[in-house]
């Protein structure tokens, strides 16, 4: 398209805007950043939490060996499971009529609440009075990838926006130099891969950004050799103008997202390396978490999570894998569950205590749990010292800070820990509660896609009021 000036001389659209002192790129970019980089958006009601840290133990920890103490299960250890309990049930690997497997570790009561916690979590045992336990969480998915997708996107198939994407879409970012949604990983990653941090059908500006330990915290963020900051800025300006011209022609919103991602990357070049350098933390804090600067670990990621929310990141998702303990020499419950607990126990407690001593816990919601639970029946041979447990639909999660009632205990399983016997909690209920604490009504935060208004909780979800302060 060409415009004609008053003298009849043809001029390009870009020249027209440039001569007016504003390039199309500048117009598009200023409009985009005004919308997407606001410090906060109006919520449906006052928020209790400003940020979320989700400590996802991917692979499904055994709730029966960590938090959900069942004396009856210990009493009937080694006996066949009652047939009526499993009639018509399907399992990932179990068949026939397996035997019951009692708790593999000792439990003791802790805190003023007298909460049972396993001996292999001595540090988390210290913070039970700060936490709210949900013992009756249920899911209809008992394979890893679909269950993780259900937990983080509300649906068992890929393609839906993740929880972090929904939250940043709903409340915006609090720091223009950092993404609103950051993912940190240690151990084996989640089975659902990028779908657990993806934007789905939301604009890709809301997707999670993965930060890594090491010399390059975000891939492809640093300038190539021989490229100065000024050269990079000039290059980005040229690319921005070309993208803006294309956007003016076709109106594709993803072009705006591309412009925003380049600009965010430019601003992150300064902010991220300094933020990721945990060696600057006091020695006392390093010892508290058990960190080792420069290495990849859950402890390092917990400290980074605190630094990220302190800097305005809204949602931090820590993925720590290898909790899949079916039995055998490679996935032995008695041998490998304590290993995973040693990796996360100290740093988890330190995160809660650190947030509290800084006055941040009241505004930071911390969530700990996996994608499903473990059966009270054993997997493997009864006399095998490397026994395990199969996938199961019922499990325990706990929450702390950010509007959660400290010391609350909600729901219960039956005496063998098989089914939710009191106040079942669905994954959608948990999602609705998280959104509520951030000031969002899960029924009203929607996005129109393919002619339908979608939401994270689909047509489900009830806020778990007894868990709220």
Residues 6+ apart with CB under 8 A from 95: none
Please check whether residue 51 is in contact with residue 313, taking contact to mean a CB–CB distance below 8 angstroms: yes
DSSP state, residue 39: S
With CA atoms as reference, report the closest residue to 389 among 344, 323, 321, 339: 323
Residues 6+ apart with CB under 8 A from 220: 265
The predicted model scores a pTM of 0.87
Q: Which two tokens stand for residue 412?
A: 């219960």
| For the chain, domain boundaries | 39-218+290-467
Per-residue pLDDT of the chain (469 residues; tens, 9 = 90+): 333 333 443 434 334 334 434 343 443 443 444 344 444 568 999 999 999 999 999 999 999 999 999 999 999 999 999 999 999 999 999 999 999 999 999 999 999 999 999 999 999 999 999 999 999 999 999 999 999 999 999 999 999 999 999 999 999 888 888 999 999 999 877 788 899 999 999 998 899 999 876 556 665 556 566 666 666 666 666 777 777 787 777 777 677 766 666 666 656 666 778 888 999 999 999 999 999 998 889 999 999 999 999 999 999 999 999 999 999 999 999 999 999 999 999 999 999 999 999 999 999 999 999 999 999 999 998 889 999 999 999 999 999 999 999 999 999 999 999 999 999 999 999 999 999 999 999 999 999 999 999 999 999 999 999 999 9
With CA atoms as reference, report the closest residue to 173 among 311, 317, 355, 359: 311
- The 10 Å Cβ neighbour count of residue 379 is 24
CATH topology of domain 39-218+290-467: Alkaline Phosphatase, subunit A (3.40.720)
Q: Measuring CA to CA, how many Å separate 24 from each of 3, 12, 250?
A: 15, 12, 14
Q: Measuring CA to CA, how many Å separate 403 from each of 47, 307, 469?
A: 9, 20, 5
Residues 6+ apart with CB under 8 A from 90: none
Query: What's the CA gap between 66 and 368, in Å, rounded?
Result: 12
């Amino acid at each position: 398209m060409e415009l004609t000036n008053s003298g009849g001389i043809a001029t390009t659209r870009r020249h027209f805007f440039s001569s007016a002192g504003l390039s199309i790129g500048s117009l598009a970019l200023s409009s985009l950043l005004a919308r997407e980089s606001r410090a906060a958006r109006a919520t449906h009601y006052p928020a209790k939490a400003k940020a979320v840290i989700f400590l996802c133990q991917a692979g499904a920890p055994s709730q029966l060996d960590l938090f959900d103490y069942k004396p009856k299960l210990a009493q009937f250890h080694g006996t066949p499971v009652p047939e009526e309990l499993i009639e018509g049930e399907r399992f990932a690997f179990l068949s026939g009529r397996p035997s019951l497997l009692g708790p593999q570790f000792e439990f003791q009561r802790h805190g003023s609440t007298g909460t049972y916690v396993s001996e292999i979590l001595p540090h988390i045992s210290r913070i039970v009075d700060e936490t709210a336990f949900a013992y009756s969480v249920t899911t209809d998915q008992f394979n890893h990838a679909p269950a993780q997708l259900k937990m983080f996107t509300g649906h068992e198939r890929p393609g839906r926006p993740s929880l972090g994407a929904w939250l940043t879409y709903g409340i915006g970012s609090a720091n223009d130099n950092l993404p609103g949604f950051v993912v940190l990983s240690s151990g084996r990653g989640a089975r659902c891969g990028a779908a657990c941090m993806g934007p789905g059908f939301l604009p890709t500006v809301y997707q999670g950004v993965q930060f890594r330990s090491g010399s390059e915290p975000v891939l492809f963020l640093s300038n190539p050799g021989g490229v100065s900051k000024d050269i990079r800025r000039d290059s980005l300006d040229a690319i921005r103008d070309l993208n803006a011209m294309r956007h003016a022609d076709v109106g594709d919103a993803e072009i705006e997202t591309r412009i925003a991602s380049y600009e965010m990357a430019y601003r992150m070049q300064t902010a991220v390396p300094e933020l990721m350098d945990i060696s600057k933390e006091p020695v006392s804090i390093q010892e508290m978490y058990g960190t080792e600067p420069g290495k990849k670990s859950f402890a390092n990621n917990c400290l980074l999570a605190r630094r990220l929310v302190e800097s305005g990141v809204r949602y931090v998702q820590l993925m720590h894998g290898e909790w899949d303990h079916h039995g055998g020499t490679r996935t032995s419950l008695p041998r490998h569950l304590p290993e995973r607990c040693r990796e996360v126990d100290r740093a988890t407690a330190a995160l809660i205590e650190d947030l509290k001593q800084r006055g941040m816990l009241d505004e930071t919601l911390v969530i700990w749990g996996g994608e499903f639970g473990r059966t009270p029946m054993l997997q493997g041979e009864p006399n095998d010292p490397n026994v395990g447990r199969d996938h199961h639909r019922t499990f325990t999660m706990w929450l702390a800070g950010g509007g959660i009632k400290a010391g609350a205990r909600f729901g219960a399983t039956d005496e063998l820990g098989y089914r939710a016997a009191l106040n079942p909690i669905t994954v959608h209920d948990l999602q609705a509660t998280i959104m509520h604490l951030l000031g969002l009504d899960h029924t009203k935060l929607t996005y129109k896609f393919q002619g339908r208004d979608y939401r994270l909780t689909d047509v489900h979800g009830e806020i778990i009021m007894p868990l709220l302060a």
